[in-house]
Amino acid sequence: MKLAILSRNSSLYSTRRLVEAARERHHSVRVLDPLRCYMRISARGFDMHYKGKPIADYNAVIPRIGASVTRYGSAVLRQFELMGTYTPNPSVAIARARDKLQCHQLLAAQGIDLPATVFGDNPDDTADLLSMLGAPPHVIKLNEGSQGSGVMLTEKLSASRSVIETLRGLYANFLVQEFIEEAAGADLRCFVVGGRVVAAMRRQAPAGDFRSNLHRGGSGTAALATAAQQAVAVRAAQVLGLGVAGVDLIQSQRGPLVLEVNASPGLEGIEQSTGVDIAGHIIDHVAGQAQPLRQGRRRKLG
């Protein structure tokens, strides 16, 4: 297949590994910087150029779009989809995953359990909003934060109120959750590819923190996901429409809860701690799904 990887930086570990895995399997592969893709939209068809030349004939595109270029990157990915190129993670699915509120609503609607979550807009409603959640501690998260930044723990109601007030003053969107104390700073990253958990990693927060993100100093070790955990992770990716996803689960007394679904999960930490060739799994999945490109065909976005 002829594969494009949409990534801002071809020297990033995940991007390099995908290129390597594609080459090992004798696919043609090219890394495209989404910010250098420009497009023409018309009712008669869709075109895209890259650094002065047409982008054409790609069977598949793997988006590795960071939080900072979501909007433009999504438009580029959508253009690929409209030009008939297969992607394991469509632009609509990435948007669903990145917006934590939407993600929680969609998952909960399908019976997937998560920490109880509240959100509201008007400061006059804060007291009642917090009473809908229950007693602290609370976890307050920026709606579009990632890698653990923008996730705060408040132990007292007065702290929850003042953090919420501060965030409102900054016009930040946030949500408030029950704190799952029994997780003891650990969560389970399940890497889902094509409806299967291909690797899992237990992440433990460093001493004194409750956030287990590797970027926050958390440590990752290979883990075996139970059948129940695998089922939840696969279902969460499926509900959002993601062929490749990092599903973060936290273990609570009432079972595994979904914390977050990452549409552009990093490969480095999990490949190194588990030894699984995740890039290879992704390339094999994409090659199995990619259709021969039919020129000029316009796809329905779904």
Q: Which two tokens stand for residue 104?
A: 């929680």
Q: How far is the CB of 192 from ligand ADP (least distance, A)?
A: 16
Contact positions with Mg ion (CB under 5 A) in 220-249:
248
Q: How far is the CB of 70 from ligand ADP (least distance, A)?
A: 13
The residue written with tokens 């469509």 in the block is 90
Position 260 contacts Mg ion (CB under 5 A): yes
97 binds, among Mg ion, ligand ADP, none (CB under 5 to 8 A by kind): none
Peptide bond into 63 cis (omega under 30): no
Q: Are 55 and 49 in contact (CB under 8 A)?
A: yes
Q: How far is the CB of 260 from Mg ion (least distance, A)?
A: 4
Position 191 contacts ligand ADP (CB under 6 A): no
Contact positions with ligand ADP (CB under 6 A) in 226-285:
248, 250, 259-260
Q: How far is the CB of 96 from ligand ADP (least distance, A)?
A: 14
Q: Are 144 and 96 in contact (CB under 8 A)?
A: no
The window from 45-53, 174-182, 278-286, 291-299 that contacts ligand ADP (CB under 6 A) reads 174-182
- Of 63 and 148, the one with the shorter C-beta distance to ligand ADP is 148
Position 187 contacts Mg ion (CB under 5 A): no
Q: How far is the C-alpha of 248 from the C-alpha of 228, rounded, in Å? A: 14
Member of 7, 79, 89, 177 binding ligand ADP (CB under 6 A): 177
Position 179 contacts ligand ADP (CB under 6 A): yes
Q: How far is the C-alpha of 260 from the C-alpha of 48, rounded, in Å? A: 33
Q: How far is the CB of 151 from Mg ion (least distance, A)?
A: 8
Q: How far is the CB of 135 from ligand ADP (least distance, A)?
A: 14
Member of 70, 212, 251, 273 binding ligand ADP (CB under 6 A): 212
Member of 34, 148, 266, 280 binding ligand ADP (CB under 6 A): 148
Alpha-carbon dihedral 222, 223, 229, 232, rounded to 10 degrees = 10
Q: How far is the C-alpha of 232 from the C-alpha of 186, rounded, in Å? A: 17
Q: The dihedral of CA 31, 32, 34, 36: what is its sign?
A: positive
164 binds, among Mg ion, ligand ADP, none (CB under 5 to 8 A by kind): none
Position 213 contacts ligand ADP (CB under 6 A): yes
Q: Are 261 and 242 in contact (CB under 8 A)?
A: yes
Query: If residue 46 lies in a helix (H) or strand (E), which one and from where to where?
Result: strand 45-50
Which distant-in-sequence residues (6+ apart) come within 8 Å of 259 by Cβ? 114, 115, 187, 248, 249, 250
- Of 252 and 289, the one with the shorter C-beta distance to ligand ADP is 252
Q: Are 148 and 215 in contact (CB under 8 A)?
A: yes
Q: Which two tokens stand for residue 106?
A: 């969609």
Q: How far is the C-alpha of 66 from the C-alpha of 12, rounded, in Å? A: 12
Which residues lie near Mg ion (CB under 5 A)? 248, 260
Which residues lie near ligand ADP (CB under 6 A)? 115, 139, 141, 145-148, 151, 177, 179-180, 183, 187, 205, 210-213, 248, 250, 259-260
